[in-house]
Amino acid sequence: MIKITDLEVRIGDRVIAQVPSLEVRPGECVAIVGESGSGKTTTLMAVLDLLEGATVTGSIDAFGTDVVKHGAKDLRGSRIALVMQSPQGAFNPTMRLGVLLRKALAKHGVKGGEADRRAREAVRDVLLDESILRRYPHEVSGGQAQRFAIAVALALGAEVILADEPTSALDVTVQAEVVAVLRRLHDERGLAVLLVSHDLALVSAIADHVTVMKDGRVVESGPAAELFANPTSAYTRELIAAVPTLPEADHAEG
Amino acid sequence: MLKADNVTLGYGGRPVVHDVSVEVTEGGVGLIGESGSGKTTVARALLGLIKPMSGAITYGTRDLNALGRADRAAFRGQVQPVFQDGSEALDPRMRIGSSIAEALDAHHRLDRAARDARITELLESVGLDPALAERRPHQLSGGQRQRAVIARALAVEPDILVLDEPTSALDVTVQARVLDLLASLASSRGLTYFLITHNLAVVDRLCRTSQVLFAGRVVEAGPTRTLLTRPAHPYTAALRDAVPKIGGAPPKAVGKVEAAPATEGCAFQRRCPLATDVCRTVRPVAREVAGRSVACHRAEEVVGGQISGAQGG
């Protein structure tokens, strides 16, 4: 669905992201991990054609369209959806979430009973109660807002979700719930996800394929299980070692 | 020692933290909880920034809220805050060296040469190049800024640091280095930490004992290792099981994590997979179970591992 080849993003003379190859196939969760300044978000924004003031070369094939040449206007908000760290700011605060969702559907020509049906179904798909459609953005929690953002993407027919640190503003228990929703959509509906995160443990829990970036370059890339079990680059090993770990649970009697 | 005794804390007459007791003892004390649990309110009270609605906060033998001006200044020298976003504690217009000098001047009278030597020493003690004294906060990286905040806090030679999510705004490799720094400072300078965080691994690293706060009440308290390896409260277990692990099982979401705390019976009942009738009507009181204090009617079953198989609703 998305295939990046020889992507290079520059601002002036400075290369801020260079990705020789990265592919997201249907039903796959692909993650880009890295720290601040690694180029991970830049890569994601390049796929959405949302980089301003940067020079982009190479090719990004998204559903048969080369985004670098032709832009992503027709794909954004339909087949490709963006989910950000804190979606609440992106929702119009004066509109109930249901109204907001129906307006978005109307833009895609979906109206009336069909719009209602899609809205309810999408909300149920992310394990939210339908009553959320009657609430205003400020009346829902961060985790609910994030799941609603995913529901909007689903209702609009997204086949791939581009998620930029989707859970890093959430409590760990709420994060677990959002992760459960993403895994379920991935397992049951074949939804593809391109996830950008600094959290290796989170990535290890949901990604099929991982690309590690540092200072704009890809340092390592491979199937998640393999990459975490046998990292080949020193930087990946450093990242893994830096993750603070919990002591093992102990359920012995007595 | 710094101590809160059965304090109830709130704003505008509305309590948000109920009957919390904390003793900031050697080895460090962690306060664990999610956003909205009231943990920052407890930290503010221990810093003397808010007055308890009931109960007392004492430092040594003195009530914090009955301190005179001179004693209050001395207290501020002994208990220093380090907050999540280092940039807040540093004046953006001031060079790092001047920020540290300001803290030094508040407590010692040093001549210029001695002061500069002390600034160099402080920056080196947190692993920063002394040349950074000439920079302003925005010219530093997040990790450097947080180290500068720690250096500034150390300038007054405190006994206690109150740390509020000290590493959660940092990149993972930077976080690891700042945690190493805090761990080594604790032993080299005899510092004691009161740490508030949602990150269980960070507490495990820096605090020998911990308390878990849910909806403004302590639900479990005891040795950190005991709490994390064999939790006795379903909330502690839920927090632990939700943490993703590299190569481990996917994080578990147990129960309705966003259900509002109950006002009658146990506050956690709506999220609890083990809740029964008694949980709905009787508020559990803290009692000793398997080496820690826990406020749960079914703590024995949780310690026995029954929560692991329980399904959330």
DSSP labels for A5-22?
Answer: EEEEEEETTEEEEEEEEE
Q: Reply yes or no on whether the pLDDT at B306 is more than 90.
A: no
Q: Which of B172, B233, B254 to mutate to test the interface with A (most CBs of A within 10 A)?
A: B172
Tell me the chain B residues in contact with residue A206 when contact means C-beta distances shorter than 8 Å.
250
End-to-end CA distance of chain A: 54
Average pLDDT, chain A: 92
* Buried b / exposed e along A149-187 (16+ C-beta atoms within 10 A): bbbbbbbbebbbbbbbbbbebbbbbbbbbbbbbbbebbe
Residue A98's pLDDT band (boundaries 50, 70, 90)? very high
In this complex, do B247 and A248 lie within 8 Å of one another by their Cβ atoms? no
Residue B309's pLDDT band (boundaries 50, 70, 90)? very low
Tell me the chain A residues in contact with residue B253 when contact means C-beta distances shorter than 8 Å.
173, 176-177, 179-180
Q: Which residue has the tokens 């009231």?
A: B38
Chain A residue nearest residue B240, CA to CA:
A246
- Cβ proximity of A148 and A87 under 8 Å: yes
Chain A residue nearest residue B35, CA to CA:
A171
Q: Which residue has the tokens 């009697």?
A: A253
Amino acid at B240: R
Residue B247's pLDDT band (boundaries 50, 70, 90)? confident
Strands (E), B25-66: 29-32, 54-59, 62-63
Q: What are phi and psi of A64, to 5 degrees?
A: 85, -5
Tell me the chain A residues in contact with residue B304 when contact means C-beta distances shorter than 8 Å.
251, 253
Q: Would you state the pLDDT for residue A63?
A: 95
Which of A36, A243, A249 shows the shortest C-beta gap to B240? Answer: A249
Residue B89's pLDDT band (boundaries 50, 70, 90)? confident
Q: Reply yes or no on whether the pLDDT at A163 is more than 90.
A: yes
Q: Would you state the pLDDT for residue B32?
A: 96
pTM assigned to the model? 0.89
Residues of B in CB contact (< 8 Å) with A are: 34-35, 142, 171-176, 179, 198-202, 204-205, 225, 228-230, 238-248, 250-254, 257-258, 304-305, 308
- Cβ proximity of A132 and A148 under 8 Å: yes
Q: Which residue has the tokens 């692991």?
A: B308
Q: What are phi and psi of B178, to 5 degrees?
A: -70, -35
A201 half-sphere exposure, CB direction, 13 A CA radius: 22
Q: Reply yes or no on whether the pLDDT at B297 is more than 60.
A: yes
Q: Reply yes or no on whether the pLDDT at B88 is more than 80.
A: no
| A–B CB contacts, 8 A cutoff, strictly below | 125
Rg of chain A's alpha carbons, rounded to an integer? 19
Q: Would you state the pLDDT for residue B86?
A: 65
Tell me the chain B residues in contact with residue A131 when contact means C-beta distances shorter than 8 Å.
none
Q: CA–CA separation, B303 vs B275, rounded Å?
A: 15
Classify strands A160-164 and A29-33 as parallel, antiparallel or unpaired.
unpaired
Which of A180, A244, A251 shows the shortest C-beta gap to B201? Answer: A244
Nearest to B231, CA basis, from B217, B242, B216: B242
Chain A 121-160, residues with CB within 8 Å of chain B CB atoms: 141, 143-144
Angle between helices B234-242 and A172-189 (to 10 degrees): 60
Which of B179, B229, B251 shows the shortest C-beta gap to A247? Answer: B229
Mean pLDDT of B226-237: 95
Q: Would you state the pLDDT for residue B308?
A: 60
Tell me the chain A residues in contact with residue B198 when contact means C-beta distances shorter than 8 Å.
171-172
- Given strand B2-11, what is the order of strands in its sheet? B14-24, B2-11, B54-59, B62-63
- Given strand A160-164, what is the order of strands in its sheet? A65-66, A55-62, A2-11, A14-24, A217-223, A209-214, A29-33, A192-197, A160-164, A80-83
pLDDT tens column, A195-222: 999 999 999 989 999 999 999 999 999 9
Q: Reply yes or no on whether the pLDDT at B177 is more than 90.
A: no
Tell me the chain A residues in contact with residue B251 when contact means C-beta distances shorter than 8 Å.
172, 175-176, 179-180, 202, 205
- Cβ proximity of A118 and A110 under 8 Å: yes
pLDDT tens column, B41-78: 999 999 999 999 999 999 988 999 888 888 888 898 89
Chain A residue nearest residue B249, CA to CA:
A205
Q: What are phi and psi of B81, to 5 degrees?
A: -90, 145
In this complex, do A250 and B229 lie within 8 Å of one another by their Cβ atoms? yes
Beta pairing partners, B287: B294
- Cβ proximity of A239 and A200 under 8 Å: yes
Chain B residue nearest residue A240, CA to CA:
B246
Distance from CA of residue A202 to its chain's centroid? 12
In this complex, do A205 and B240 lie within 8 Å of one another by their Cβ atoms? no
Q: CA–CA separation, A146 vs B137, rounded Å?
A: 33
